[in-house]
Amino acid sequence: MPELPEVETIRRELAGVICGKRVDAADVHGLRSVRRHGDPADFCSGLIGRRALYVRRRGKYILVVLDAGNVLVLHLGMSGQLRWVSSSAVQPSRHTHVVVSFDSGEQLRFADPRTFGEAFVATSPTSDEKVDALAHLGFDALEAKVNSETLAEMLSVRRTSLKPLLMNQRFVAGLGNIYSDEVLFAAKLRYDRRANSLSTDEVRRLRRAITRVLRQAVAHGGSTLADAQYKDLYGRAGGFQYYHQVYGREGEACKRCQTRISRVRTQGRSSFMCERCQG
């Protein structure tokens, strides 16, 4: 599943090409992808004639802010991909469920084989990224306003283990299985450490690790794993997978201490860690 670095990579690319362009047409080929709308025509009518103003991100959601207070919200789910192509490009793949055409002769295509992702049009009276449908999300993992002191207060009332808490989008938006493992390694914390047991120094390490790991991943265009599900707006793979410290490296030597990386399965998920560095 694309996480914050992958979504931020696409957001930046999309912001560079879509702003100022008007939607000429919208076509829906998969009803599940626009399931928040009772009628696909409602989705399309919220786009046609609107001009893209700017592009924002909330956690794993991309928000294309349009004029007249509408916002196109995109979530890639587990297998979703966005492509920016010329309208004269090859026909969309059979898993392309939404096509938005612009007055520039270009198209934004949303493909999603597993259909867990979605696209919907929301209204925002202030014409910014404040969308009611996303009000449940916690703080964005790259938001500077949540410092270590604020994070310490938030953790102090949580008895759950760190990894599931970091992956809880209502607590912090943007982290998933890959980057929670990488962040916890960077912070030298175990995945099953109780959140309210962290010392002041450990919280500081965790906050710094979240920022550092995510920024590094964004700089490398995100992570493309063996399944090649994630590609950027132009179909290019990310490169941060070559810098993973623990994720997907079971049995390999820790780059910090040479201990073998272990894999633990809990609640149906795999967690990768170094028992020595995170002990």
Q: Which residues are catalytic?
A: 2-3, 60, 269
Give the C-alpha distances (Å, rounded to integers) separating 27 from 42, 45, 51, 92, 107. 11, 10, 17, 12, 11
Find the largest Cα–Cα distance for the chain. Answer: 58
Determine contact, residues 55/14, Cβ cutoff 8 Å: yes
- For the residues of 161-178, what is the DSSP string, one character each? BHHHHHT-TTTEES--HH
221: alpha, beta or left? (left if phi > 0; alpha if psi -120 to 50): left
